[in-house]
Structure 1
Amino acid sequence: MKRLLTAALGGLLALGLAACGTSAAPASAGAEPVSVVLGWYPTAESGGFYAAEEQGLFAQQGLDVDIQPGGPQVSQTQVVASGRADFGLSDATTVANAKATGIPIVAVAALFQENPVGVMVHADSGAQDWKDLAGRTWYVQTGQLGQEWVKRSQGIDFTTAAYNGSIATFVHDDAAVQQGWPTNEAYTAQKEGVQTRFLSYASAGYNPYNDVIFTTEDFLRDNPEKVRSFLDATMRGWSAYMSDTALAEKVNATLQQENPQLDAAANWFAWDAQRQFLTAGDGATALGAMTPARWSTLVDQMTQLGALEPGLDPASLFDTSALPTVPAPTTLPPAP
């Protein structure tokens, strides 16, 4: 959802906003400047970058990293392609669409190994699987490919209504189906006293990488060691953020300073819930991992759904040559 918002708006306003980033620590003498524009405002979803800053991991790699906030008026692909940031975060579909339109970006890591986007229903609604959601009203964003893949792969149909960012209708409609993340909308529903059952689009076979770190083809070609250093510190930061609650407390406090609208309890809920998606599959042995098979499947699915013209080479979308092997933490403690 957030990615659709960011893709819908951009231009000069996006470039101006992205230039207003912040760093979590003073620059080290002689450090090389590097900038990254987040997929959204600072939250637990970007905590690993702030953890790397807090631990001095970027500085150890000789980098002075500027962490720029995203938001609904920031187009990460435009910001990075224009050189206003060296790295950006978005989802794999955005990377594919950008490449198809001639924007020369390339994915270098993927944080969410399992895509957390999906839909939720009331736990007591009787719905157990996708077939049970046929004929219901789905509150979703127009153009979301996940719901279209569900129709195709599960052989069901349903009515859609625009999701405007509020789940108020869902809360009061026991039969409604609500698009969202298990780290965000599920928490909001829980606060409203509604227990939910979540079905990810990944469980229906639509599983594009999410929170993909990308850069330009030129930057990767000209700065392979800088890319490697940035990714090494970033993945170690994510590993520590997921496994060290004392560090996470410091980072979450920083996130609230950077994003005063952030709800502390909601952020801890997201910190806990998101970890299973970061460490799933290949992420268990290498945080940020990407495979040719996953990218090939995505291109094939987007082509089937009419979101891409035939002929896009999946191999042109990603490059793991600078990605170090940083395993996921073996222990994931509960939130304090």
Structure 2
Amino acid sequence: MSTGLFPTDATQRRKLRVRLAAVAFAATALAGLAGSAGAEELTKLSVVLGYVPNVESFGAEYALKQGYFKDEGLDVTVIPAGQGVDQVQMVSAGTVDIGISNPEQILAGVAQGAKFKVFASEFQKTPMAMTCRKDSGIEKASDIAGKRVGVKTPAKPFFDLFMSKNSIDPASVTTTSIGPNDISVLISGQIDCEVTTFAFNEPRLIEAAGVPVNVFSFGDYGLNSQVDSYFVSDAFFADPAKKELLVKYLRAEQKAWMEFFKDPAGAAKFMVEGGFTDGLDLDQQTYQAEKQALYMKDAFTAEKGFMWVNLDTWKETAQNALASKVTDKLIDPTDLLSTEILEKVAPPKM
């Protein structure tokens, strides 16, 4: 006979233990179901990067790893870029939701009839640059007159435009065609400058070989571009529910970028040790992270906010795209850009 809350009879105690175990099992099962339901509630979203994963794409990779996207209710798939990856075509075909690409490629797609909406940009000043040996004496654009410049084959129209916009007589410059990854000719002194380079990639490798350089961003010479701009199809952007997904996505990625600015060296270490891309060098990635930060912020982002799209820059890029025959007509970027997502995210002014 029981004299309290719990039975004293051994058989009854065994029965109680069985019932308690069943209750515990049921609770665990329900918790599991709840967890499964929670996982199913995450909304799938895909993004294709603008380049192979390195500190340039820290925002997306860190937000994914740290669960920032999940905190926003998103199940994000990050697709690395590389040879053969065409972000413009993928977004246009609907095989990916968000593309990250250079404005020239986006404008070229628009010129071919594609309809996009650009809602954020990583860089305010283009990291595309001309890199020159310091001992060449070149301190500004006009100084290349009488010098030797190695021009990567795809960059020739761009370099011709650079000379035109900066009143440099092409006949005064000795040019030679070089390979897409050839820095040996600059290191050996066969040329004085190389076009185009990435402001925090080739210069680091050249200086590591013992050759100090000066780096001239084309953004300072009438050829600016908001490299790594985020875009979706017009149809995607027209859906209010999907537009809210972009708000959540950008909010999560901006949270990751704030960690980048706190510790660029730590961001580099994360990308190298994370195994996102084989062969990343920690010294180079640290150098890139520290330099890259300077191209992502300026007076415009201090006024408007981080990753803000700049219509004036896009108009400049559209003019240059036409002049260099990237497009066969002038694209007015006014309707191509939207600050609606940025306004809802309210990024920090920095």
Aligned counterpart for 1:172 among listed residues 165, 174, 188: 188
Partner residue in 2 for 1:278: 296
Q: Which residue of 1 aligns with 2:244?
A: 225
Secondary structure at 1:165's aligned position in 2? coil
User: TM-score under structure 1 normalisation?
Assistant: 0.83
1:67 deviation in Å? 0.9
Distance 1:66 1:171, change over 3 A: same
How far apart, CA to CA, are the structure 1 residues paired with 2:127 and 2:265? Answer: 26
206-215 vs 237-246, greater mean Cα deviation: 237-246
Aligned partner of residue 150 in structure 2, secondary structure: strand
The one-character-per-residue Cα deviations of 1:252-287 (angstroms, maximum 9, x if unpaired) are: 2454x1212211221111111100001123233411
| Distance in structure 2 (CA, Å) of the matches to 1:303 and 1:166 | 28
Tell me the residue number matched to 1:300: 319
Once the two structures are superposed, the pairs formed by residues 192-207 of structure 1 within 5 Å of their partners are: 192-207=209-224
CA apart distance, 1:92: 0.8
Give the AA of the match of 2:85. V
Q: Aligned residues: percent identity?
A: 25
Q: Indicate the structure (1 or 2) with the bigger Cα radius of gyration.
A: 2
| Counterpart AA for 2:68 | L
In the alignment, the residues of structure 1 paired with residue 143 and residue 269 of structure 2 have an alpha-carbon distance, to the nearest angstrom, of 43
Gapped runs of 5+ residues in structure 2? Answer: 1-37
**How is 1:86-165 mapped onto 2 (pairs within 5 angstroms)?**
86-144=97-155, 146-156=158-168, 157=170, 158=173, 159-165=175-181
Deviation readout 1:113-146 (Å, 9 max, x if unpaired): 0001111111121111111112433223334354
CA distance in structure 2 between the aligned counterparts of 1:120 and 1:325, rounded to whole angstroms: 36
Native 8 Å contact 1:54 1:251 kept in 2? no
Q: What is the RMSD computed on CA atoms of the aligned residues?
A: 2.1
Kept in 2: contact 1:112–1:277 (CA 8 A): yes
3-state secondary structure, aligned to 2:51:
coil
Q: Which of 339, 347, 350 is 1:320 aligned to? A: 339
Letter in 1 for 2:346: T
Contact 1:125 1:174 in 2 (8 A): no
State how many pairs are aligned: 302
1:12 corresponds to which residue?
Answer: none
Q: Determine the C-alpha separation between the residues in 1 that align with 2:60 and 2:266.
A: 12
Deviation at 1:233, TM superposition (A): 1.2
115-124 vs 103-112, which deviates more?
103-112
After superposition, give the CA deviation of every residue in 1:200-252 in whole Å (9 maximum; x if it has no partner).
Answer: 11111110110111111111112110111111111221122221358626632
How far did 1:28 drift? 4.3
Distance in 2 separating the partners of 1:327 and 1:318: 20
String of CA shifts for 1:286-320, please: whole Å, max 9, x gaps: 11111322222222233344433345222132222
Which structure carries more helix by proportion? 2
Secondary structure, counterpart of 2:258 in structure 1: helix
Look up the match of 2:76.
65
1:21 corresponds to: none
Kept in 2, the 8 Å contact 1:95–1:317? The answer is no
Aligned to 1:46: 57
8 Å CA contact 2:225–2:313 kept in 1: the answer is: yes
CA contact (8 A) 1:87 1:215 kept: yes
Q: Does residue 261 in structure 1 map to residue 259 in structure 2?
A: no
Aligned partner of residue 316 in structure 2, secondary structure:
helix
**Counterpart secondary structure, 1:315:** coil
- Shift in Å, 1:160: 4.1
Deviation at 1:54, TM superposition (A): 3.2
> Could you tell me how far apart the structure 2 residues matched to 1:325 and 1:167 are?
42
1:120, 1:311 → 2: CA distance?
A: 30
After TM superposition, the structure 1 stretch with the greater mean CA deviation from structure 2, 281-290 or 264-273, is: 281-290
1:290 equivalent to 2:309? Answer: yes
- Residue pair 1:37, 1:69 contacting (<8 A) in 2 also: yes
Give 2:299's aligned amino acid.
G
Matched residues in 1 for 2:265 and 2:137: separation?
40
Contact 2:107–2:318 (Cα < 8 Å) also in 1 = yes
Alpha carbons of structure 1 residues 312 and 182: separation in structure 2 relative to 1, 3 Å = closer
Q: Distance in 1 between matches of 2:310 and 2:204?
A: 32
Name 2:270's counterpart in structure 1: 251
Q: CA shift at 1:106, angstroms?
A: 2.3
Distance in 1, Cα, partners of 2:316 & 2:132: 28
Residue deviations 1:72-126, cap 9 Å, x none?
2211111222222111111111111110001222211110100011111111211
